[in-house]
Amino acid sequence: MSLDRFNQLAKKWDSKPERVEGALCFVDEIFKTIKEDTSNFNTLDYGCGSGLVSFALMEQVKTVTGMDFSTGMIDIYNQKIQSLEFNNISSLLHDINNQELDFNTYDLAVTNMTMHHIKDTNIFIKKLSSSLKPNGYLCIADLEIEDGTFHSCNDGVEHFGFNINNIEKSYKDNNLKNIIVKQLQVINKPNNNFSVFIAIGQKI
């Protein structure tokens, strides 16, 4: 989906139950896997959208920074921030294709269902890895190879999913250790079933 399309979809993003369930499933698996105290973690949610992942994990970490290139999505995200009495969340308009991320900054970087919209996934993983402090965690959830029918419109879809062996290699190439790559969930649609993987690694 293109930037325009994400801006249009933003207001209705949370209305699809599978999006909400997918984000909750991702967050649940992250905290099942990270077996240390995360209450002091500064967290990046890249391609945060309306904040389904950010708001699901905010109570278990110190801070969350949501970044996304869609003003429509960031507006919804900010409305949610304002409706909370206390929050540890902030947002930033950011395009990973054209901008850098701060180095050595986050204890946890998460990104859900965003990477298939990014052309150069090696640069994406490189930038996210570089933003981590030593021992920080990178957690990616996205589609495994699919037949191109996951989206009703493939405008802005750069990849029809990923081969998990390539993801694991990319994690290794970017100095990540303790790598786990496995199936996270299956999204059932009338036309097909789509497997979603989770990849977790820790910065050396």
Interface residues toward ligand SAM, by CB under 6 A: 6, 19, 23, 47-49, 52-53, 68-70, 73, 94-97, 112-114, 117-118
CA distance 74 to 91: 7
**CA 56/CA 60 separation, integer angstroms:** 9
Minimum distance from residue 51 beta carbon to ligand SAM (Å): 8
Closest distance to ligand SAM from the beta carbon of 123 (Å): 11
Q: Which is nearer to ligand SAM, 165 or 167 (CB)?
A: 167
CB of 168 to ligand SAM, least distance (A): 22
Q: Report the alpha-carbon distance of residue 85 to residue 104 in Å, rounded.
A: 30
Least Cβ distance, residue 178 to ligand SAM (angstroms) = 24
Which of 15/165 has CB closer to ligand SAM? 15
Nearest to 117 by CA among 26, 1, 39: 1
Query: For ligand SAM, which is the closer residue by CB, 95 or 100?
Result: 95
Q: Which two tokens stand for residue 192?
A: 């097909």
* Residue 2 or 135 having the CB closest to ligand SAM: 2
Q: Position of tokens 């599978």?
A: 18
Q: Residue 146 in 3-state DSSP?
A: coil
Quickly list DSSP for 22-70: HHHHHHHHHHHH--S--TT-EEEEET-TTSHHHHHHGGGSSEEEEEES-
Rg, C-alpha atoms of the chain: 16
**Closest distance to ligand SAM from the beta carbon of 113 (Å):** 4
Residue whose CB is less far from ligand SAM, 19 or 159:
19
Match 């699901």 to its residue by tokens: 56
